[in-house]
Amino acid sequence: MAFKDHYKTLGVAFSATENDIKKKFRKLALVYHPDRNMDSTFAGIHFREIQEAYEILADPSRRYVYDREWLLHFPKESGMRLRQYTPESILEECMALGRQVKAMDIYRTNKESVYTQAKKILSDDHMNLLLFHKNENVNKGIIAEMMSVFSALNYRYAAGISEMLLTLACNNDQSNTIREWLHQLKRRSYWDQYYPFAALVIAIALCVMIYFLSR
């Protein structure tokens, strides 16, 4: 079974005090408690994870044992760094990826690496978090950033991310914008694929025409 980062689940630092942990648990419990989110499967699952994290970190003896294992899994982590994702932090990661791609030489860009980073940012856990909070401005920002990133790559990678963007779309107009964007990338992909062949055919035709005209 995968090791669970309870500090990340609660969004507290490794060095957090018992009071810090209690305060954060109460705050998260108010947001994700099943009684307040009866129609949300994500909230129920996430609340159980929050509860499990709190039960371990709020108990000094259990926390001591857990911390020894945590340090084996995250030996380079800073104890002062918070590790809880929010819709805003996911948008920040999208923007950072966008800046990274803009700074690259597009012809030398490792497209597979960019695609892998994007899939990590829009992981199942992160998508569930975004869909739960339904922050329209954040979701629109994520869609815009990802469309910008994948416009610089190619249709194959854009198609792989498009379903996630459509899932985040806030309305039909935005969904149509994503589909039109994907359609344009597909057309550009066909042109890029067949342009060398078309250029060769045109060049041969011109050579043949010049040959007959010069006779």
**How distant, in Å, are the alpha carbons of 18, 134, 191 from that of 174?**
45, 15, 26
Task: Identify the CATH class of 6-73.
Answer: mainly alpha
Mean pLDDT of successive 10-residue segments in the chain (215 residues)?
Answer: 88 89 94 92 94 95 90 70 74 91 80 91 91 93 95 88 93 93 88 60 71 67
Contacts of residue 170, defined as CB under 8 A and 6 or more positions apart, other chains included, come to 136, 139, 140
Alpha-carbon distance 124 to 164, whole Å?
Answer: 10
pLDDT at 177: 95
- Asked if residues 11 and 83 have their Cβ atoms less than 8 Å apart, the reply is yes
Going by the DSSP 8-state scheme, the letter that residue 104 receives in this structure is S
pLDDT at 194: 57
Domain residue spans in the chain? Answer: 6-73, 87-209
Alpha-carbon distance 61 to 66, whole Å?
Answer: 9
Tokens of 97: 């990826």
Alpha-carbon distance 143 to 138, whole Å?
Answer: 9
Tokens of 130: 């975004």
Q: What is the DSSP string of 163-186?
A: HHHHHH--SHHHHHHHHHHHHHHH
Angle between helices 111-121 and 155-168 (to 10 degrees): 10
pLDDT at 132: 92
- Asked if residues 86 and 130 have their Cβ atoms less than 8 Å apart, the reply is no
Residue with tokens 């497209």: 111
